[in-house]
Each structure stands twice: as structure tokens, then as C-alpha cells.
Amino acid sequence: MTERAFCLYGESLWISPYVFSSFVALEEKGVPFDVVEVSLFEGGHLEPAYRELSLTARVPALVHDGFRLSESSAIDEYLEELLPPPEHPRLLPVSLQHRARARQLMAFLRSDLDHLRAERSTVTMFYRSKLDPLGKAAARDADKLVRVAEAVVPRDNGPLFGDWSIADADLAFMLHRLILGGDPVPARIVAYASEQWQRPSVSAYVNHERPALVPDGYWAYSGTPRPKPA
């Protein structure tokens, strides 16, 4: 690994929506960075050295010239202020109200939809499996997610605020829990999320090499039921 000013600590399966957000942010800013994989299901995030580094003992964590920061939304905001436009591409909208709306969406995507997360875990996005229909609570979460998306995605299916922002990547990732699971999503929203999925910074994470199989230890760590083989 080369010695670079930025180092992102992620998880070893490359399925975390939070690592995804900060990885995309770094890619968008156009700065070289290293990635260190932390094996969550083996307790790597609980090792004293990592807990000291991240403070919250979670991924992602960013190290920049000795400064250490965890929590993806904080990392995204730090990068936006550290590497501001126009010298670097923008992560958040220009308008004050649009920035507030982007932050609202990002907070919603991190704090809500727990039942949907459980039944359409990110494992099901990147590893083929046979999925049961959504239960009642998860279906309500899915309806809420689609309702929010229909309210904020422009009629032309372009970026949320005219120009791309990190909120577009975060929303598209959450929508793909449904899309890749074969759950019903309006065609307009599928078109929006699919377009976001092709963005180079997003594609770099989505198409990153992963282990061929999910390690057995992951299921006990995550607390989610093991999906049936496809």
C-alpha cells in the first residue's frame, strides 16, 4: 500500500452503505486514497487500535494527515469543507435550502427503514440469493422509501438538485435494495437509480472485487438470517 494523505477504513465484504458513501465522496473529490479492510465479523472494529482510531468503533473511518474521523456523514462533510469547490467537485448542493434537503435525505437514509434493511440486507444486493416477499413492516418501509423518492426525484429523472450530490448516491444505494431484490419500484425511480449506479465513482464501489462467498461468521455477527441460495 502506498503512503497517501487519505486512508479510508472500510469493511472486507464491500457491502456497507456507509463506507460506500465516503468512498464515493473521495472518488468524486479526485484525491488519491488508500483503503484498509476491517473484518467486522471477526471483530476487527473492536480491536483496541481500531477503536482508538475511529472513536465510535465503526466503519468507515478516515485518516487524513494524522486526523481521524468516523461516521460517513461527518466524513462527507469534512471532505466537502477540506476540498471545496471550485478546485474540487462539489458533494453538496449550492443552494442553502437544497443543502438542507440533501442532509435531511441523508439523515433519513441512515436512521430509518430498519425492517427493510433487515429483509433486504446489503448482502442480498451483491450476493445472489432467493428472497422471500417483504413482510408487512418491511413493505411499509419500502412504500415509505418509494414515496420519498417520488417526491424528490425530478420529473426528468436527473440529479435531485439539478447537479449531482452525494445524496443522489446514498438514495440510489438504498433504492437498489429493492431493485436488486426484484421488489416493485416505479419505472421512473428505477431509471433514476440505474443512472446513478453508472456514475464512475459509484461504479468503482459497486464493481469492486469481493470474496466469492459470504463467510459463515458474517451471519452471527450481523444478526440477519442467511438467505436461501438462488
- Which of 217, 197, 213 shows the shortest CA–CA distance to 128? 213
Query: What is the model's pLDDT at position 214?
Result: 85
Distance CA 222, CA 230 (A): 20
Residue 157 in domain: yes
Query: What is the model's pLDDT at position 165?
Result: 97
Query: What is the model's pLDDT at position 220?
Result: 77
Regions of the chain with pLDDT less than 50: 1-2
Query: What is the model's pLDDT at position 1?
Result: 40
Residue 167 in domain: yes
Query: What is the model's pLDDT at position 103?
Result: 97
Residue 114 in domain: yes
Helix (H, G, I), strand (E, B) or coil at 124: helix
CATH of the domain at 106: 1.20.1050.10
Residue 2 in domain: no
Neighbour tally for 39: CB within 10 Å: 16
Query: What is the model's pLDDT at position 3?
Result: 55
Neighbour tally for 202: CB within 10 Å: 22
Residue 147 in domain: yes
In this structure, are residues 196 and 202 in contact, taking their beta carbons and an 8 Å threshold? Answer: yes
Distance of CA 50 to the CA centre of its chain: 21
Domain range for 193 is 96-201
In this structure, are residues 142 and 183 in contact, taking their beta carbons and an 8 Å threshold? Answer: yes
Q: Which residues pair with 161 in a beta bridge?
A: 163
Could you give the number of structural domains in the chain?
1
Residue 192 in domain: yes
- Inter-CA distances, 120 with 7, 140, 185, Å: 29, 13, 14
Residue 187 in domain: yes
> Grid coordinates representing 24?
464515493
Ramachandran sector of residue 162 (left: φ over 0; alpha: ψ -120 to 50; beta: rest): left
